[in-house]
Amino acid sequence: MATSESASLSKAVKQQYMDLPQGDKVQAMYIWIDGTGEGLRCKTRTLDNEPKTIDDLPEWNFDGSSTYQSEGSNSDMYLIPAAMFRDPFRKDPNKLVLCQVLKYNRKPAETNLRLMCKKIMEMVENQVPWFGMEQEYTILGTDGHPFGWPSNGFPGPQGPYYCGVGADKAYGRDIVEAHYRACLYAGVQICGTNAEVMPAQWEFQVGPCEGINMGDHLWAARFILHRVCEDFGVVASFDPKPIPGNWNGAGCHTNFSTKEMREDGGLRAIEESIEKLGKRHRYHICAYDPKGGLDNARRLTGHHETSNIHEFSAGVANRGASIRIPRSVGQDKKGYFEDRRPSANCDPYAVTEAMIRTCLLSEEGEEPTEYSK
């Protein structure tokens, strides 16, 4: 099992320094999405006192030519604080600061999808859209081999691992427990976790979150997971099909509802939204992974609890459909529905924006509608 050299450094020695008082100063770790649309970057600055709101945080900048976001001759990019969390690694009063990225001309960077998502969310805030996202991921060694798998072979076939208990069924639970507690400390709206169908694959759920908070909290949870895995010397992969063959892929099922859907008789609004989604399948497939559907093509095969990428389907309690209506929702005639198409490496800002555009703004066609400011 290949783990990083950093993981073998003495954590007890490090703790001697982390226990030192820091006076009135505060460490703020600024976090942003890089030019891949998947990777996260971070750096830290000292503040003179503890920020209470996002408005207390200064803008910052970085070298975009080293993050796939600009060329070297004009490389300064701006970091605009967007959401703030408690820092579970340095602890209070230190902060994690999720940022938007602007280019030198103050326009959003290509992978800054938050700006438009927030605008779309503000257009429908009276409908109180709630989201919950189920983030699947796979724990890998630094050599890319799944954690706990035999070095020259495969574990036993899928079956005993989903929600499994025992050393031969649950691979890497320490990482899961550490991540869960760190998210709770940080103030991330994490609401659950479980072992998944493929060994070394896990899932955590974030939500319910209203509007733009969904993307903010999922990205913060992903960052915390990467940092926890770093401490353990392993890697968290959001690849939608990390192991080819007869193994489950990894998705990010997205649950959605509005105030109308959650009230008595809301099933009608749910069915109307599903009908709209069915007419715009290709647009959503393009929005549901960072490569315009190419990543999801490896996962959405119609097998391993997925729908076929080329076909739209919906059904009650059907995990092989594009859209699943939970059985309890069908019985209560109100609640929410689940879009099972987003890939594990999706951008939650893109996914939630696409759902609002189609379901609530009734957009049609394969391109998003442009709205005046």
Q: What is the mean pLDDT of residues 210-219?
A: 98
DSSP 8-state assignment for residue 365: S
Decide if 254 contacts 351 (C-beta within 8 A).
yes
Rounded to an integer, the average pLDDT of 235-257 is 96
Task: Please determine, for residue 254, whether its predicted confidence score (pLDDT) is greater than 90.
Answer: yes
Q: What are phi and psi of 257, to 5 degrees?
A: -155, 160
Whether the Cβ atoms of residue 200 and residue 148 lie closer than 8 Å to each other: yes
Helix, strand or coil, per DSSP, at residue 1 = coil
Give me the DSSP letters along 129-191. -EEEEEEEEEEE-TTSPBTTS-TTS--SPSSS-TT--STTT---HHHHHHHHHHHHHHT--EE
Residue 159, phi-psi category: left (phi > 0), alpha (psi -120 to 50), beta (remainder): left
Does 102 score more than 90 pLDDT? yes
Q: What is the mean pLDDT of residues 228-235?
A: 97
Distances (CA, A) of 252 to 54, 110, 200, 258, 308: 28, 22, 17, 20, 16
Q: Where would I find the beta strands (DSSP E) of the chain? A: 26-33, 40-47, 60-63, 76-86, 95-102, 130-140, 190-195, 201-210, 235-237, 252-257, 314-316, 323-325, 337-339
pLDDT band at residue 311 using 50, 70 and 90 as cut-offs: very high
In this predicted structure, the answer to whether residue 6 has a pLDDT above a threshold of 80 is yes
- Taking every pair of Cα atoms in the chain, the longest distance, rounded to a whole number of angstroms, is 61
CA 324 to chain centre: 20
Residue 373 has pLDDT above 80, yes or no: no
What does residue 229 show for φ and ψ, rounded to 5 degrees? -65, -35
Which residues contact residue 373 at a Cβ distance below 8 angstroms, ignoring those fewer than 6 apart? none
Q: What is the chain's percent helix, strand, coil content, to nearest 5?
A: 30, 25, 45
DSSP state, 78?
E
Burial 172-204 (b: 16+ CB within 10 A, else e): beebbebbbebbebbebbbeebebbbbbbbbbb
Assign 220 a pLDDT band (cuts: 50, 70, 90): very high
Percent of the chain with pLDDT strictly greater than 90: 93
Three-state DSSP class for 125? helix
pLDDT band at 186 (very low <50, low <70, confident <90, very high): very high
pLDDT for 317 equals 80
- CB-based contact 218:134 (threshold 8 Å): no
> What does the pLDDT look like over 43-80, one tens digit per residue?
999 999 999 999 999 999 999 999 999 877 778 999 99
Please count the other Cβ atoms lying within 10 Å of the Cβ belonging to residue 143. Answer: 10
State residue 233's pLDDT score. 97
The whole-number pLDDT of residue 304 equals 84
Give the confidence band of 344 by pLDDT, cuts at 50, 70, 90: very high
Instruction: Output the CA–CA distances (angstroms, integers) from residue 223 to 42, 147, 226, 236, 354, in the order listed.
Output: 9, 20, 5, 10, 23
CB contact at 8 A, 63 and 142? no
Specify the range with the lowest mean pLDDT, choosing from 176-185, 213-222, 309-318.
309-318
